[in-house]
Amino acid sequence: MTRLTELFEVENQSPWLDNVRRDWIRDGEMARWRDRGVRGVTSNPTIFQKAISGGDAYDEQFSGLLASGTSVVDSYWEMVVADIRDTLAIFRPVHDASNGLDGFVSVEVSPLLARDTQGTIAAARHLDDLIDQPNLFIKIPGTTEGIPAIRQVISEGRSVNVTLLFSLSRYREVMEAYIAGLESFEGDLSTVSSVASFFISRVDSEADARLEAIGTADALELRGRVAVANAQLAYAAFVETFSGPRWESLAARGARVQRPLWASTSTKNPVYPDTLYIDTLIGPNTVNTIPEKTLEDFEDHGTVARTVDSDLSGAAAVLAKLAAVGIDLDDVTDKLEREGVASFSASFDDLLASLTEKANSLR
């Protein structure tokens, strides 16, 4: 049993791969990850920017699309959809064997729609109808404008991966949107799934910079501890939300909990252990989506043990100390959300620019 299979079989946490690459789809590497214990796949605009711009794996399809008169933007989506469909097929056996729990592959609506509720709804419907597979997640940013879109899309029986979550308050809004969406859906609730992608390492990157700027002993001792504490309290909010009469009435109709998904779990600071954001966030009904290098590190020397709720009072104390040294966590997470939206939009713009340049050379 690998550590990845042990994560799921012992601790009921699903390890997912945070990458999509056409060469992996073609040479069997994606299937090998599945066979090693990976139970799903996530993608985002930055991942596709690197994949499409980083080699010639897409040139044949891109040339054909251009020759048929397809625009650069539409060509991008054709290439993305092709990769997502192929990856869905690879992970469909996981989906079927787990009775719809895992085996999901996520594709994100255009990041340019992050502040556009109606545009997000329309794009989510289009992608879901176009690909039309039961193990597809439509990825929607958990921005203020994204919340009503999430509720609407869930109410139509579509499965959603809510992304770019940093704060506990926004996470609670997302869980409410999911539950309200289920309450409005008149179909079979067991066919609707969702995860809420709570970002980890970026919180430490921003918090650490502010702590170092303060420079006191009380501040410096909090470095590398804020992100995990924030996520552990998010897990406590998850447990609280998906319990009680309101949820139980939905569960009786077959509803699934919206699992928290830990995202951005490779360590950005080389001083920290390379498996820090896996080892400290293991617990039931969770997902961790992990880049391949960190997956390799965890398989080599990670620790499989329930940790996500082992010291919730300690997690609360970390955030209390953060406030005491003068750092507003809400200000940290608001900044990270803005930067996340901007980063994905910039990746999308860069990709279209590079595709336009490549189109000119291929023509």
Beta partners for 234?
Answer: none
Distance CA 142, CA 197 (A): 9
Annotated catalytic residue, options 139, 293, 335, 358: 139
> What strands lie across the sheet with 13-17, from one edge to the other?
13-17, 286-290, 259-263, 194-199, 160-165, 136-141, 105-108
Distance CA 319, CA 225 (A): 9
Distance CA 41, CA 48 (A): 13
- Tokens 């791969």 locate to 17
- Tokens 């970002």 locate to 199
Beta partners for 108?
Answer: 139
Contact yes or no for 203/267 (Cβ under 8 A): no
H-helix or E-strand spanning residue 13: strand 13-17
Distance CA 85, CA 136 (A): 9
Contact yes or no for 166/336 (Cβ under 8 A): yes
Catalytic residue list contains 139:
yes
Phi, psi of 104 (to 5 degrees): -85, 150
Distance CA 355, CA 341 (A): 21
Residue 93, token pair as written in the block: 């056996």
Contact yes or no for 332/340 (Cβ under 8 A): no
What residues are annotated to the active site? Answer: 139
